Chains A and B, each alone.
Chain A
């Protein structure tokens, strides 16, 4: 069975791009458009990996992160945050909340996403 990835990203185009890339490698990909939806999806689907945006409406990335780490059922979910600026302050905060890796939106290219995904959870199946 294909590994499951949830993308929590309010930016349509970016979400679309990531979706395409990951699906292309064979993963089963879900997209949530805000933090609230994302948290719900994580609880229901229990994915192998979550790509989590930080700045989102309704519930921000860090709030989701805290909720996930505080929830017994899902606290060990692998999460890779998508930081907008790559600000060291942000990265530090994310590390404290035990993220597995991070992407900086303005600097990475889609290949990096794939490489990091594979590194974290292995191939799609």
Chain B
């Protein structure tokens, strides 16, 4: 379809003249719009018309172009002439020739030269494509390619870096994994891990040894299934019916192996929880503890006899059995006697403690009325309290049922006496001690309240520990074994009871003992 036929979209002119005018004006518009330099030459090679672009590139206006030889505007004048004559002669077109425009400013502009013979007008149209712009385009494309190439190379470099980093990270992760695995498998404690699905995932060598099992037989099985397995049954019973935390529970694996079992849930990044069981070998610790205990027991026993002898020797002096003694002699002997008594008490306490440790403490529980026991202990301490000028009261609350308990009388009596002794010792003259015994439901409550020096808050949690004495009372009463409350708590708890206290330094202390009633 030629350009000319586009007039179809417009209204046709009434007269041929109108048509021609229309065509001409359309042509003119196109001619000047075209962004390529175009000119028209006659058979003599003279420019008869040129468009805006041609004028621009040559830097001549239309007046300077018309009627001039085309060769004037080119550097290769002979060649141009040749082409022109051949085009007119052969009535053909020439394409893609490289020439240089010689413009007004005497600059050379490389162009590609195209020309076409037009039969109807016996003229030739010449069209140029500026090499410069071609070059620009080419350069532009080259630039773009360069940039793109640069981009790609940079991306490639970045990817390689990433790959390196990933490799590095992977290597590190693997290293860490190998390290963890090594630690895990060589760890001195036995370790058993269950994955978040409750299946046995890992067992280390030590655990295998402790339990006499091979991990391959057990990995993948769940806790409930393993609990029925004959080799793992007794261990998992220590943990419980299901996976739960336990802290340092003893497990006798066999006669030579005693383990301390601790289990806990561990979470990794807030995801579901793995379950870990730790087996710690305390066989040696146990042996040492037993030896220590035996030593204490033997030592205490051996100490008792000489202490008793000293006791009577001094007793005899004081009783005047060896002859009358002076007042001064009495004072000194009495002090010595009392000191010896304290030694005897300490030795007895040590023996009690060693018996507690051995687990041989409670002897033969008997069914008694707690009321009687408390009354007895109270009566035996009345005098001491009186001498110290401390008010000492016992209140037994009447209850529907008798306060019957099943206890080792000697030990329970000792336990209660320890608390009462403390109350008396650590309450200053003018103070007050109150003992309350009551029964509520099937619980027997014994409350011992004093207005004594109290226990400093920071030390309260250590009060039941062996040999512990609070700082504020060591200065008040330099004697004191620190064993009394340890023994008391053991006795109370061994009977299935509970003991607790409330205390404020400078105000006093209240001890609460609860025991289960037998009937």
**A85 lies within 8 A of B301 (CB):** yes
Q: Which of A65-98 contact B (CB under 8 A)?
A: 84-85, 88
In the docked arrangement, what's the CA distance between A20 and B309, Å?
14
Q: With A and B bound together, what is the CA distance between A11 and B313 in angstroms?
A: 12
Taking a contact as CB atoms under 8 Å apart, the answer to whether B316 and A106 are in contact is no
Query: Are B308's CB and A106's CB within 8 A?
Result: yes
Distance, CA A11 to CA B270, complexed state (A): 72
8 Å CB contact of B309 from A14, A24, A88: A14
Decide: A105 near B321, CB < 8 A? Known: A13-B313, A88-B363: no
Closest Cβ neighbor of A12 among chain B residues: B309
Chain B proximity mask over A8-25: 1 for CB below 8 Å, otherwise 0: 000101100100110010
Alpha-carbon distance A93/B301, docked complex (angstroms): 19
Given known A-B contacts A20-B316, A85-B304, A110-B315, A13 and B309 have beta carbons under 8 A apart: yes
> Can you give 20 A-B contacts (C-beta < 8 A)?
A11-B309, A13-B309, A13-B313, A17-B316, A21-B321, A24-B321, A84-B301, A84-B304, A84-B305, A85-B304, A85-B351, A88-B364, A105-B305, A105-B308, A106-B307, A106-B308, A106-B311, A109-B311, A109-B315, A110-B312
Q: In the complex, what's the smallest C-beta–C-beta distance from A44 to chain B, in angstroms?
A: 28
Residue of B nearest to A55 (CB): B305
Known: A17-B312, A24-B321, A84-B305. A106 touches B344 (CB 8 A): yes
* B32 interface residue (CB < 8 Å to A): no
Question: For residue B134, which residues in chain A have a CB less than 8 angstroms away from its CB?
Answer: none
Given A13-B312, A20-B321, A85-B301: A106 in contact with B348 (beta carbons within 8 A): yes
Chain A residues near B313: list those with CB within 8 A.
Answer: 13, 17
Is B319 among interface residues, defined by CB-CB distance under 8 A? yes
5 extra interface residue pairs, beta carbon distance < 8 Å, beyond A84-B301, A85-B304: A11-B305, A17-B316, A21-B321, A106-B305, A110-B319
Given the known inter-chain contacts A13-B309, A17-B313, please indicate yes or no for A106 contacting B304, CB distance below 8 A: yes
Please report the C-alpha to C-alpha distance between residue A109 and residue B315 in the assembled complex, in whole angstroms: 8
Chain A's closest residue to B312 (CB) is A17
Provide the bound-state CA to CA distance between A21 and B342, in Å. Answer: 25
How many contacting A-B pairs (Cβ < 8 A)? 41
Among A88, A105, A109, point to the contact of B304 (Cβ < 8 A): A105
Residues of A near B347 (CB, < 8 A) are 106
| Chain B positions 186 through 229: 1 when the CB is less than 8 Å from some CB of chain A, otherwise 0 | 00000000000000000000000000000000000000000000
A88 to B409, CA, bound (A): 12
Q: Mark B279-310, 1 if CB is under 8 A from A, else 0.
A: 00000000000000000000001001101110
Which residues on the B side are within 8 Å of A84 (C-beta)? 301, 304-305
Minimum Cβ distance to chain A for residue B452 (Å): 28
Top 10 A-B pairs ranked by shortest CB distance?
A88-B363, A105-B308, A13-B309, A106-B304, A17-B312, A106-B308, A17-B316, A110-B315, A14-B309, A106-B344
Complex interface: chain A residues within 8 A of B363 (CB): 88
Kindly state the separation between the CA atoms of A24 and B315 in the bound complex, as whole angstroms: 15
Q: Which residues of B contact A24 (CB under 8 A)?
A: 321
A45 CA to B319 CA in the complex, in Å?
31
The CA of A24 and the CA of B319, in the complex, are separated in Å by: 13
Which residue among B312, B315, B348 has the maximum number of chain A CB atoms within 10 Å of its CB?
A: B312
Residue numbers in B under 8 Å from A17 (CB-CB): 312-313, 316
Residue of B nearest to A91 (CB): B363
User: Which A residues are in CB contact (< 8 Å) with B319?
Assistant: 110
**In the complex, which residues of chain A have a beta carbon less than 8 angstroms from the beta carbon of B344?**
106
By a CB distance below 8 angstroms, the chain A residues around B364 are 88
Residues of A within 8 A of B312 (CB): 13-14, 17, 109-110
Q: Which residue of A lies closest to B348 (CB)?
A: A106
Q: Which residues of B contact A21 (CB under 8 A)?
A: 321
CA distance A48 to B169 in the complex (A): 96
Restricting to A13-47, which residues have a CB under 8 Å from any CB of B? 13-14, 17, 20-21, 24
Which of A11, A20, A105 has the largest count of B CB atoms less than 10 A from its CB?
A: A105
In the bound assembly, the distance between CA atoms of A109 and B316 in angstroms comes to: 10
In the docked arrangement, what's the CA distance between A13 and B304, Å? 14
A84 to B302, CA, bound (A): 10
A109 nearest CB neighbor, chain B only: B315
On chain B, the residues within 8 Å of A106 by CB distance are 304-305, 307-308, 311, 344, 347-348
